[in-house]
Amino acid sequence: MSDLMIWVIILALGLGTFLIRWSFLGALGDRELPSWVLRMLRYTPVAVLPALAAPLVVWPVATGGQPDAARMAAAMVTLAVGLVTRNVILAILGGAVTLFGLLYLL
């Protein structure tokens, strides 16, 4: 992707993100959101981020799209540690150690 397009993305994303954050504080005030909108908003991160990650786990770029045991295991460990400890850093560390360990062993 060209440098120009990356800057277009940065500026559009910067402006759009600011407008989302500013929306109610600046323009919409006390207007109540319909409850179905609130419901959808509540589930944006848990729907978007896993949907982005899942294909990367199953068909990793680094192996040319071949499913890879080390990466699959690392993803599972990250999920398990995150669910049990509720700690983001521990989950990342668990996944990273698994990935490095298995890539070294296999």
Binding another protein (rule: CB under 8 A), the pick from 73, 96, 105, 106 is 96
In the complex, minimum distance from the CB of residue 72 to another protein, in angstroms, rounded to a whole number? 11
**From the DSSP assignment, how many helices (H) and strands (E) are in the chain?**
5, 0
Number of Cβ within a 10 Å radius of residue 81: 21
Please give the residues from 58 up to 87 whose contact with another protein meets the rule CB under 8 A.
58-62, 71, 74-75, 78-79, 81-83, 86-87
Contact between 97 and another protein per CB under 8 A? no
Binding track over 6-35 against another protein, x by CB under 8 A? xxxxxxxxx-xxx-xxxxxxx-xxxxxx-x
CA distance 66 to 69: 10
Binding track over 32-51 against another protein, x by CB under 8 A? xx-xx-xxxxxxxxxxxxxx
Q: For another protein, which is the closer residue by CB, 35 or 105? A: 35
CA distance 25 to 59: 42
Q: Are 58 and 67 in contact (CB under 8 A)?
A: yes
